[in-house]
Amino acid sequence: MIQIENLTLQRDGQPILTGVETTIPATGLTALIGPNGAGKSTLLHGLAGLLPPAAGRVLVNGIDIASARPAERALRVALLTQNPLLVPRLSVRDLIGFGRWPHHRGRPRQEDRDHVDEALRVFDLSALEHRSLDSLSGGQRQRAYVAMAHAQATPWMLLDEPLSALDPRYARDIMERLHRLSRPGEGARGVVIVLHDLGMAARYADWVVTLRDGRLVRSGPRPEVMTTEALSALFETGLAVDECRGRPVVLPV
């Protein structure tokens, strides 16, 4: 469970988020949604402990993440920042291998190689493992980044818009895999993901946190938060939540 207690975050002395207070359940997929500039990426950095709070605190599985040692923090939370990442020319295997860095600090063991193999398999990258990142398509590269966060094998995966630049097939593919990873059970991950695609949020999220102008609007189970009224008010535009073939969909109306 992530407990966010009266959290205020600043960048360059400017408050970006103020007084956020909520909890995020330990398993399941949580979507962070809200208009541009609402503070979603900033909140994600705060949850990862990379941005020390100006006030309040974030407890990740009971530990104050901002004051944890960097090595400790990286074993609890994996953060995939927004694209475009400035990444060196690495092979897919090397990139995912760096996801294991918090575990081996430069001396990989068999266990680390196994995790890399598993991440390659889960994200269907085995055939591309020796390819250089800059020779891949946008979708393949994005999968490699998510696989790197997966290999970090942390209880929490935080992803900032991992679907940008992806066509529907790859976007869906990644969401399916993340959804599966977050199902309760042994080895389940808590996945927190900033999404702009409300359709994806409606389809895959268990829990939804909405932000607007640096404040928390709502936080709760997806059916309670993603309603026609709430979404239309949040984005200040006509949006309808409906059902199609038994699945929730969001439509501009």
Partner 1 sequence: MRLAAITLCLLLLVLLSLMIGAAGPGGGLDSGVVMSVSRIPRTLAALLAGAGLALSGAVVQLAVQNRLVEPGLTGTPEAAMIGLLLITLLAPASPLMVKMAVASLAALIGTLGFLLLAQHVPRQDPMLLPLVGMIYGGVLGTGGILGSGATWIAWNADLVQYLGSWQTGEFSGVLRGRYELLWLIAALGGLLYLAADRITLLGMGEDHARSLGLNARQTLLLGLGIVSATIAAVVVTVGAMPFVGLIVPNLVSRWRGDNLRANLPLIALLGAALMLAADILGRVIRWPYEIPASTIFAVAGAGLFLWLIHAAPRQAGRT
Give min distance, CB of 69 to partner 1, in A.
Answer: 8
96 vs 231, which CB is nearer to partner 1? 96
Which two tokens mark 151? 């290999």
- For residue 109, state whether it binds partner 1 (rule: CB under 8 A): no
Residue in 114, 183, 171, 182 with CA at minimum distance from that of residue 143: 171
- For residue 140, state whether it binds partner 1 (rule: CB under 8 A): no
Give min distance, CB of 75 to partner 1, in A.
Answer: 7
How many residues bind to partner 1 according to rule CB under 8 A?
Answer: 30
CA distances from 68 to 34, 50, 231 (A): 29, 10, 36
- For residue 81, state whether it binds partner 1 (rule: CB under 8 A): yes
Give min distance, CB of 72 to partner 1, in A.
Answer: 8
Give min distance, CB of 206 to partner 1, in A.
Answer: 24
- For residue 129, state whether it binds partner 1 (rule: CB under 8 A): no
84 vs 184, which CB is nearer to partner 1? 84
Q: Where are the alpha helices (DSSP H) in the chain?
A: 40-47, 70-74, 92-99, 101-104, 110-122, 138-151, 168-181, 198-204, 222-225, 228-235
Residue type at 11? R
- Compute how many other C-beta atoms are within 10 angstroms of the C-beta atom of residue 121: 11
Residue 249, classed as helix, strand or coil, is strand
SS3 content of the chain, % helix, strand, coil (to 5): 35, 30, 35
Give min distance, CB of 159 to partner 1, in A.
Answer: 11
Give min distance, CB of 240 to partner 1, in A.
Answer: 37
Which of 13, 106, 185, 187 is close enough to bind partner 1 by CB under 8 A?
106
- For residue 102, state whether it binds partner 1 (rule: CB under 8 A): yes
- For residue 173, state whether it binds partner 1 (rule: CB under 8 A): no
- For residue 48, state whether it binds partner 1 (rule: CB under 8 A): yes
- For residue 132, state whether it binds partner 1 (rule: CB under 8 A): yes
Whether residue 211 contacts residue 38, with contact meaning beta carbons closer than 8 Å, is answered with yes
Residue in 115, 103, 108, 110 with CA at minimum distance from that of residue 71: 103
Residues near partner 1 (CB under 8 A) = 45, 48, 50, 70-75, 77-81, 85-91, 94, 98-99, 101-102, 106, 132, 134, 152
